[in-house]
Amino acid sequence: MAPTPEYADRLRAADLRVTRPRVAVLHAVDLHPHADTDTLYRAAREELPDVSLQAVYDVLGALADAGLVRRIQPAGHVARYEIRVGDNHHHTVCRLCGTIADVDCAVGAAPCLTASDDNGFRLDEAEVIYWGLCPSCAREALEA
């Protein structure tokens, strides 16, 4: 699946120059939600064989800074990236295999949770990670 002009439009809307590495990495993140940098590097190279690992790291940083991708890093895991931004959703993480899945907010609008004490902060986001076993690992654990 080739990247669509939508990627260029997203880059322009974020005041980023449209470059082949940026389009390739944005496309890779779109195709591989919750992927790590190495996975995204391999995916981007399928589209743009001469892109370097450093370029992918740089592009991911620029895309995250511009709000076009979201960087998540559950404790004990490498950074992962997703294209779903701006809705303050959360994640489930499997303790065994590391699978990550999206979870919509349970109640209310951002920040989804009302802090018992905001300490004077103006809250705009809550990061919640639910830990457990994915269906596959839970099945295997029952069979063991």
User: Per-residue pLDDT tens for 69-91?
Assistant: 999 999 889 999 999 998 878 89
67 and 100 in a single domain? The answer is no
Q: Which of 18-22, 75-79, 108-112, 139-143 shows the highest mean pLDDT? A: 18-22
Instruction: Tokens 């994640």: give the residue.
Output: 91
Q: Which helix (H) or strand (E) holds 47?
A: helix 37-47
Confidence label for 128 from pLDDT (cuts 50, 70 and 90) = confident
Q: Which domain holds residue 62?
A: 5-72
Please tell me the total count of domains within the chain: 2
pTM metric for this prediction: 0.83
User: How far is C-alpha 96 from the geometric centre of its chain's CA atoms?
Assistant: 20
Return the number of other C-beta atoms located less than 10 Å from residue 47's C-beta: 18
The verdict on residue 119 lying in a domain is: yes
Alpha-carbon gap, residue 112 to 119, rounded angstroms: 17
CB atoms within 10 A of CB 21: 18
Last residue of a domain, one of 72, 97, 121: 72
Which domain-ending residue is among 22, 40, 72? 72
Looking at the fold, whether 91 and 66 belong to one and the same domain comes out as no
- Of 34-38, 40-44, 53-57, 136-140, which range is least confident? 136-140
Compute the Cα dihedral for 115, 111, 95, 64 and give only its sign.
negative
Only one residue has tokens 């589209």, namely: 47
Do residue 103 and residue 46 come from a single domain?
no
44: phi then psi, degrees, rounded to nearest 5? -65, -35
63 neighbors 29 (Cβ within 8 angstroms): yes
